[in-house]
């Protein structure tokens, strides 16, 4: 059998400076997403684990470990059960590395799905990777494994909010998109505060991207939104909450007449 990929690569030229993605149907009739790289092609399942594997007959390693942890959260009956539960509730360094490797697969997929405007898929996969961060933070045996992925939390939160807002815009619901962006910015701010980096929030690329989306969205809001903002600004002034009043005033200025 000819295993040379040259004809396939020649048929789909790599284009620098952009993410080259396409959706295809596999030989089994299931959808696949392909990403063209400079040296080849990545192919992933659209649903389930991107590589199509089912570790321990679970949809993913995350599902396996979640099931295992849930089982051992049941109240133990005796001393032996207590010892076994304590052991099973801890993720070893190898466990954490396997989870990180699996999360990288989902990262590649949600980036591709964003390009394909499959925003529900992006929300699904970003939510999934956030579960990995929480699991490692709560159950990893080694301190470095508890924090290894935390550097990526702001980015994942941003991508989730971006996808939620984009999905709302796609459905012609600008107000829902605004709410998604506001919630995303609030969650992102809390994340930076939890990481003792509150002073980095405003200048972070994640906050700036969501704020930029918000600014572009404001002119699309219905006229009634202006009245609501004016009312909230007047209430803020009456309560001497001048910081909030200033924010609302700036939002009003961003609206087109």
Q: What is the pLDDT of residue 75?
A: 47
Contact 96, 136 (CB under 8 A): yes
**pTM, whole model, 2 decimals?**
0.78
Residues of the chain with pLDDT under 70: 1, 73-89, 220-226, 254-257
Q: Where are the alpha helices (DSSP H) in 55-149?
A: 61-71, 79-88, 93-115, 119-139, 143-147
- Which residues face 36 on adjacent strands? 20, 41
Rg (CA), the chain: 23
- 35: β partners: 21, 42
Inter-residue contact 185 to 207 (CB < 8 Å): yes
Q: Exposed, middle or buried: residue 29 (CB in 10 Å: 0-12, 13-18, 19+)? A: exposed
pLDDT value at position 83?
44
| CB 124 within 8 Å of CB 95 | no
By 3-state DSSP, what share of the chain in percent is helix, strand and coil, each rounded to 5?
65, 10, 25
What pLDDT, on the 0 to 100 scale, is given for residue 239? 82
Count of residues in the chain: 257
Model confidence over 2-51: pLDDT tens digits? 788 888 899 999 998 888 999 999 999 999 999 999 999 999 999 999 99
Q: For residue 102, what are its two tokens?
A: 């699996």
Residue 21 near residue 35, CB atoms below 8 Å: yes
User: Which position has the token pair 């699996």?
Assistant: 102
Q: Crossing angle for the helix pair 153-170 and 93-115, nearest 10 degrees?
A: 30
Tokens for 18, please give them: 């952009």
Strands (E), 154-234: none
The 8-class DSSP code of residue 219 comes to: G
Looking at residue 216, what is its pLDDT? 86
Q: In 3D, which of 164, 146, 178, 37 has the Cα closest to residue 110?
A: 164
Spatial neighbors of 136 by CB under 8 A, at least 6 apart, are 91, 96, 99, 145, 146, 148, 149
The answer to whether 123 and 107 are in contact (CB under 8 A) is: no
């Amino acid at each position: 059998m000819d295993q040379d990929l040259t004809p396939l690569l020649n048929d789909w030229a790599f284009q620098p400076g952009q993410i080259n993605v396409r959706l295809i149907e596999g030989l089994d009739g299931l959808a696949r997403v392909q990403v063209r790289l400079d040296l080849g092609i990545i192919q992933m399942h659209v649903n389930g684990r991107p590589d199509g594997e089912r570790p321990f007959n679970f949809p993913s390693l995350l599902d396996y470990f979640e099931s295992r942890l849930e089982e051992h959260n049941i109240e133990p009956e005796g001393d032996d059960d207590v010892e076994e539960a304590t052991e099973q509730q801890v993720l070893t360094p190898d466990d954490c590395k396997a989870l990180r490797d699996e999360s990288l697969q989902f990262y590649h997929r949600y980036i591709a799905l964003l390009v394909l405007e499959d925003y529900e898929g992006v929300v699904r996969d970003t939510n999934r990777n956030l579960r990995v961060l929480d699991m490692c933070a709560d159950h990893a045996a080694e301190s470095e494994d508890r924090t290894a992925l935390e550097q990526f939390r702001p980015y994942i939160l941003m991508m989730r909010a971006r996808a939620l807002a984009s999905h709302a815009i796609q459905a012609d619901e600008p107000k829902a998109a605004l709410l998604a962006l506001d919630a995303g910015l609030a969650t992102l701010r809390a994340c930076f505060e939890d990481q003792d980096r509150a002073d980095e929030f405003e200048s972070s690329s994640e906050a700036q991207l969501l704020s930029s989306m918000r600014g572009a969205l404001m002119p699309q809001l219905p006229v009634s939104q202006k009245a609501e903002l004016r009312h909230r600004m007047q209430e803020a002034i009456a309560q001497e909450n001048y910081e909030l009043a200033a924010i609302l005033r700036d939002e009003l200025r961003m609206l087109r007449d």
